[in-house]
Amino acid sequence: MILVTGGTGLLGSHLLFDLVSSGKSVRAIKRKTSDTGMAKKIFSYYSDKADELFGKIEWVDADIMDFVAMDDVLEGIDEVFHAGAVVSFYPKDHKAMLKVNIEGTANLVNLCTERKIRKFCYVSSVAVLGRAVNDGVSDETTYWQPSKKNSVYGQSKYGAEREIWRGMEEGLNAYIINPSVILGPGFWGGGNSGLFSLVWKGLKYYTRGINGFVDVRDVAKAMILLMDSDISKERFIVSAENCSYQKIFEYMAKYLGKPAPSINVPNAMTGIAWRVEALRSFIMGTLPEVTKEMATTTTMVYTYSNEKIRKALGFEFRPVEQSIKDFSEFFLKDHK
């Protein structure tokens, strides 16, 4: 049997769909307060038998920080896909994100090592990679460097990755994937899927930052192919293309039938924007729509190589424009 953490999230729900669609027996953990409705919605995008497929998942209420509960969850498990993590750019979540992402991963590594789980997949991030000098292309050997530009999320993922590498030294049969910005449908209210909503509402501004982007379906596919391979003790960047945020917004506008953002925001202006937004949110008692980390990320140039996974698996990625076209169709159906 297979265990999936993070099954109620964007990547986890797509992974669950692929696993149960192929006839695999799957157990997924969630918190008692978590809603599986969006994960079920994801199934409906890809199948007319969404209810039937979703019903094949064995859902268990458990917290990854609870060592005893997770020990029970792992009973009868052969393979683990660890996709669960706290993801946030809000300062109020930083402490919890560092604790859960690092200590929770350490708990799972310890338990899986003791139980001699057949194979373990850890979903990390390109945020743990060092930045290649002179705006060069980062690959799996571009190692982490301490920097004020590193997000707290990146720090939490770096700490969690160290637990995976430690586990591998202690006998855990594992591999790591490092996705770039994951594009996917359904979670229109926030995260990367929220970009579709911003463009739909008439986003006017863009920055000249560049980043790697990848289709959520390709990330799930790569995870499964690596699990079924003989590959272990390796990390793989999972990224389809390096694109400017301007180009991403243009694709979204094209397929959503909206005007593309046309006003470039200079880097200096983004610094003003997050400070003004911080003040507004403080006065109104609401979460800021733009944080310092968000503003900084969208102005930076980050590019990544996917050569290693393409050679190892013969893997071919969907073009980013095709991914955005597909997900825009889902968005429009949801907003009739």
CA distance 35 to 31: 9
User: Alpha helices of the chain — where are they, by DSSP H?
Assistant: 10-21, 37-46, 50-54, 67-73, 94-99, 105-115, 152-169, 194-200, 216-227, 245-256, 267-284, 292-297, 307-313, 320-334
- Residues of the domain holding 61: 2-180+214-239+304-318
**222 in any annotated domain:** yes
Distance CA 123, CA 227 (A): 12
Residue 101 lies in a domain: yes
* 333 Cβ contact list (under 8 Å, min separation 6): none
203 found inside a domain: no
| Conformation bin of residue 134: beta by default, left when phi > 0, alpha when psi is -120 to 50 | left
Residues 85-95: pLDDT tens digits?
A: 887 767 777 88
Pairing label, strands 210-215, 241-244 = antiparallel
Domain count, the chain: 1
Tokens for 85? 């993590």
pLDDT of residue 274: 40
The Cα-based distances of 185 to 41, 89, 127, 181, 328 in angstroms read: 10, 20, 22, 13, 8
The answer to whether residue 38 is domain-embedded is: yes
Q: 298 in a domain, yes or no? A: no
Would you write out the chain's pLDDT as a tens digit for each of its 336 residues? 999 999 999 999 999 999 999 999 999 999 888 888 999 999 999 999 999 999 999 999 998 888 899 999 999 999 999 998 887 767 777 888 888 899 999 999 999 999 999 999 999 999 898 775 556 889 999 888 877 777 888 889 999 999 999 999 999 999 999 999 999 999 888 778 888 998 998 888 888 889 999 999 999 999 999 999 999 999 999 999 999 999 999 999 999 999 998 877 766 555 544 444 444 444 545 554 555 555 566 667 889 999 999 999 999 999 999 999 999 999 999 987
Q: Three-state SS for 156?
A: helix
Residue with tokens 């929770």: 104
Is 128 a member of any domain? yes
Task: Give the pLDDT of residue 82.
Answer: 95
Q: Cα–Cα distance between 244 and 221 in angstroms, integer?
A: 25
Residue 112 vs residues 70, 73, 75, 103, 217: alpha-carbon distances, Å: 10, 11, 10, 14, 26
- Tokens for 222? 């790569």
Residues 168/105, Cβ–Cβ less than 8 Å: no
Strand order through the sheet with 2-5: 58-61, 26-30, 2-5, 79-82, 119-123, 174-179, 235-238
pLDDT of residue 132: 59
Please list, in sequence order, all residues whose beta carbon lies within 8 angstroms of the beta carbon of residue 221, skipping any fewer than 6 positions away: 18, 315
In a domain, 105, yes or no: yes
pLDDT given at position 322 = 98
CATH number, domain with residue 116: 3.40.50.720
The overall pTM is greater than 0.85: yes
53: Cα separation from own chain's centroid: 23
Return d(Cα 35, Cα 25) in angstroms, integer.
21
Dist. CA 138–CA 122, nearest whole Å: 20
How far apart are the C-alpha atoms of 129 and 143, rounded to whole Å? 5
Residues written for the chain = 336
Is 231 contained in some domain?
A: yes
